Amino acid sequence: MAASSISAPTPGTASLSTERLLLRPVRAADVPAVTRLWTDPEVRRHLGGPVTEQVVRIRQRRVAGAPGVYAVVRTVDEVLLGLVTVEPAAREGETEVSYQFLPEHWGHGYAREAVAAVVEATLRDTPSVVALTQEANHRSRRLLEAVGMTHVSSFVEYDAHQVLYRRSR
């Protein structure tokens, strides 16, 4: 994992970088790829399914520059790979990290690298970070464990078995 070259976000820029990736605010030019994330059945398999056209239109208007939403792009060619989102106080007062990546970029370690960078940076300002995934999403569970998160609870939410992971400072 190349997270050792993380540079912390600076006020006003909200960006991070790793050896291979730049995590920056979403730009208008990113919206078509981000829309694919919201509508791709494979990406959304463990996220409640593709979102409706109405929700897509609302999100398209709000995603560019949204606080806490990182567009993950390769530094070499600026291709958008996915999103990582940080929501302070989202789950019982704890900061939640979530992520989704386009299927053609799965299996290259990009998600692990990006999520590790965001978790490390977030833990500088908050005592703990949580992430939620479906119990059936084994790839996501392995990723969360690889970035040092620990399974702390299991429950049913959104009509599916969920697992909550946490990492503390």
Please check the confidence at residue 3 and state whether its pLDDT lies above 80: no
Q: How far apart are CA 75 and CA 155, in angstroms?
A: 38
Q: Which domain holds residue 132?
A: 3-168
Please check the confidence at residue 88 and state whether its pLDDT lies above 80: yes
Question: pTM to 2 decimals?
Answer: 0.89
Closest CA to 160 of 131, 137, 128, 142: 137
Per residue in 13-72, pLDDT tens? 479 999 999 999 999 999 999 999 999 999 999 888 888 899 999 999 999 999 999 999
Q: In total, how many domains does the chain have?
A: 1
Return the CATH number at 123: 3.40.630.30
